[in-house]
Amino acid sequence: LVHIFHMKSKIQNNHTEEKELVRLNLHMAQTGVTTRRGADELIKKGEVFVNGKMAVLGQKVSESDEIEIMTYSPKEPHVYFAYNKPVGIVTVNPGSGEKDILNTTDFPTKVFPVGRLDKDSHGLIIMTNDGRVTSHLLAPEKNHEKEYVVKTDTDFNEFFLEKLSRGVKFDTYTTKPCVTKQLDSDTFSIILTEGKNRQIRRMVSLFRHFVKDLKRVRIENIKLGPLKEGKFRPIEGKELDTFLKKINIQK
């Protein structure tokens, strides 16, 4: 039997009018049906229809459009895991001789990482099959907290952390103000609400220090805790409810 989903949810756009068009695959991801890549696969298979007509790759839709997805099974329930990435493992797209998260860890269902940690960093990554999480959590204007513990190559003074917390400029970009706290003579915590490429390492290097160890320990209310490297745990119950509420997603 063919199962049909009717999706009439409002397209998420906080800065423009509701009628503005967005890509169909993004809309499907934001409504939690699948990932963008998964949406493209469904479109290629001819299983997605917009206002009764078969959708095409790259098509854009508005809030008023009716979207139908024909599939032979209902969508899988959303799952969420906290994963502790070890140093040396890349998040996605491994190069020659490299290993990524999905090649080294057996998750019980198909999931993908939300955001990235560079190969030399370790710590918390959220793994999920809920395509909404990426856009809700990672957009810079959302100001969602991510906390890191950083060890430098040499000791530093309080002025170093004060300068970091005010925001620093590299290239043509100035980082947002952030919260820093000294934990030891060469170790501090930092809470960011943005995630530029290798941002902390670049910030630290501007003041002639270098990062020896960088570990992400928290994303909003999700804490890494005692989770061992290379392992994962489910995010569920009150912890999940709080997380989804913080990033404005309904179960």
The residues assigned a catalytic role are 118
d(CA 113, CA 126): 6
N-terminal to C-terminal alpha carbon distance within the chain: 27
CB-based contact 48:67 (threshold 8 Å): yes
User: H or E segment at 194?
Assistant: none
Nearest alpha carbon to residue 220 among 128, 123, 145: 145
User: H or E segment at 102?
Assistant: helix 101-104
Beta 211-219 vs 122-128: how paired, if at all? parallel
Nearest alpha carbon to residue 59 among 72, 74, 44, 75: 44
d(CA 209, CA 184): 15
Q: What Cα–Cα distance (Å) separates residue 19 from each residue in 16, 48, 54, 63, 67? A: 8, 21, 21, 6, 15
- Non-local CB neighbours of 47 within 8 Å, separated by 6+ positions: 69, 70, 71
- Non-local CB neighbours of 119 within 8 Å, separated by 6+ positions: 87, 88, 89, 90, 98
